[in-house]
């Protein structure tokens, strides 16, 4: 394959973004290579997304697995440099804000290979978040910056990035969400969990600042247990969260609560079906804030900030913080019938806009 466009994915949040772009590259006949770093490698965190979204198997799989931030980033950089030296790509496309994003962007920049960053310009302004570090640094070395909102574009301009590099294309993850909504009819997850006809909420937690800290996680679980007295809750648990629940001795209490159903991570179609039928979501995920905004499902974000403020100003999202009382206050103030609107260009056609720009690049 001569000078392909390399598209990089590494972790669960990436797969919903690379899928539509990869499909559009193939549809337009552009030579491309899909690289999976293996940052997420568990079947429920990786392969099931390829299956659910109809993404072809990656052309190259690194299998880096879990490790510290520095070691994981370094391992990806070493392998990706070798791959680039061999295939001499004309463009590297990275998405999101995980370690794979930053590792491949830096490697490409040092090899003088143009970099395109999909989901550029998002800012929480909290540099204690590993994702924020990844976002800021990736944007600094990227040649083409594709943004999900006008606010993200404005962030980049304020940081001194040439406006000619910035392209507002909408949210490519909504392309995958639209696909999932149209293809989730065969999912039986709601009946499998005996949720038919029941008002239920969903919980997801995975951020180290939440699940690796005993006091923080304990307070969150106290709030969750109190909310479960009023509403049935479903808790698809990230492997990291499962480990913390077990090591801190919290799992037994959750298992004993008949109103909380804890599950393994779900496939994308099952998860979208579950969210779309829920009456509220509690999460520390960035992507789920966007999905609930699109679906019109009230969302309580268990963080002190968000890099997706449009989900608050235009969507259904409330930033609750992480203390027990702030979470309970947010729940008590939740408006299950709030007004909301889909943000501009969140229309399921972002991949087409991205690839059209890529196709017309003068390499």
Q: Is residue 147 scored above 50 in pLDDT?
A: yes
Q: Is residue 175 scored above 90 in pLDDT?
A: yes
What are phi and psi for residue 149, nearest 5 degrees?
-150, 160
For residues 157 and 200, membership in a common domain is answered with no
For residues 148 and 226, membership in a common domain is answered with no
Q: Is residue 193 scored above 90 in pLDDT?
A: yes
Q: Give the pLDDT of residue 43.
A: 45
**44 falls within a domain:** yes
Q: Which residue among the candidates 22, 117, 206, 277 is catalytic per the annotation? A: 206
Q: How far apart are CA 338 and CA 297, in angstroms?
A: 9
What string of H, E and C letters represents the secondary structure of 115-126?
EEEEEECCCCCC
**Is the alpha carbon torsion for 359, 286, 166, 4 positive or negative?**
negative
Angstrom CA distances, 154 to 40, 122, 349, stand at: 32, 10, 22
Q: Give the pLDDT of residue 64.
A: 86
For residues 161 and 39, membership in a common domain is answered with yes
* pLDDT tier for residue 36 given thresholds of 50, 70 and 90: very high
Contact partners, residue 118, CB within 8 Å, separation at least 6: 17, 21, 93, 94, 95, 96, 146, 172, 354
Both tokens of 227, joined, read 């909310």
Q: How far apart are CA 29 and CA 82, in angstroms?
A: 25
For residues 257 and 136, membership in a common domain is answered with no
Q: Which of 9-18, 38-47, 214-223 has the lowest mean pLDDT?
A: 38-47
**74 falls within a domain:** yes
For residues 227 and 99, membership in a common domain is answered with no
Mean of the pLDDT values across residues 253-279? 95
For residues 150 and 10, membership in a common domain is answered with yes
**100 falls within a domain:** yes
Angstrom CA distances, 217 to 172, 207, 239, 260, stand at: 32, 11, 15, 16
Q: Is 206 a catalytic residue?
A: yes
Structurally, the chain folds into a number of domains equal to 2
Top pLDDT among 357 and 362 is at 357
Task: State which residues form the domain around 30.
Answer: 5-171+346-359
Predicted TM-score (pTM) of this structure: 0.94
């Amino acid at each position: 394959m001569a000078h392909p466009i390399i598209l990089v994915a590494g972790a669960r949040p990436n797969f919903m973004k690379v899928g539509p772009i990869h499909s559009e590259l193939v549809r337009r006949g552009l030579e491309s290579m899909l690289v999976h770093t293996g940052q997420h490698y568990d079947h429920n965190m990786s392969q099931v997304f390829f299956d659910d979204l109809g993404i072809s198997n990656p052309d190259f799989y690194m299998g880096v697995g879990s490790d510290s931030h520095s070691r994981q980033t370094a391992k990806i950089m070493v392998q990706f440099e070798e791959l680039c030296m061999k295939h001499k790509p004309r463009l590297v496309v990275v998405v999101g804000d995980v370690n794979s994003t930053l590792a491949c962007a830096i490697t490409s920049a040092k090899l003088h290979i143009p970099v395109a960053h999909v989901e550029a310009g998002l800012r929480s302004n909290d540099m204690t978040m590993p994702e924020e570090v990844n976002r800021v640094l990736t944007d600094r070395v990227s040649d083409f910056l594709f943004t999900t909102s006008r606010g993200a574009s404005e962030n980049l301009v304020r940081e001194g990035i040439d406006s000619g590099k910035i392209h507002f294309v909408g949210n490519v993850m909504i392309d995958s969400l639209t696909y999932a909504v149209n293809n989730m009819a065969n999912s039986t997850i709601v009946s499998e969990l005996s949720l038919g006809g029941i008002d239920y909420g969903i919980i997801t937690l995975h951020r180290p600042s939440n699940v690796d800290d005993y006091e923080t996680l304990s307070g969150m679980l106290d709030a969750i247990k109190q909310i479960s007295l009023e509403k049935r809750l479903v808790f698809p648990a990230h492997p990291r969260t499962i480990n913390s629940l077990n090591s801190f001795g919290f799992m037994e209490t959750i298992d004993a609560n008949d109103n909380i159903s804890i599950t393994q991570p779900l496939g994308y179609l099952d998860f979208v079906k579950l969210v779309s039928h829920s009456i509220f979501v509690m999460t520390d995920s960035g992507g789920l804030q966007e999905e609930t905004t699109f679906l019109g499902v009230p969302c309580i974000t268990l963080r002190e900030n968000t890099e997706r403020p449009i989900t608050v100003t235009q969507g259904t999202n409330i930033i609750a913080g992480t203390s027990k009382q702030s979470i309970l206050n947010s729940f008590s103030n939740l408006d299950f019938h709030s007004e909301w609107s889909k943000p501009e260009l969140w229309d399921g056609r972002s991949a087409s806009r991205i690839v059209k720009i890529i196709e017309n690049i003068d390499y």
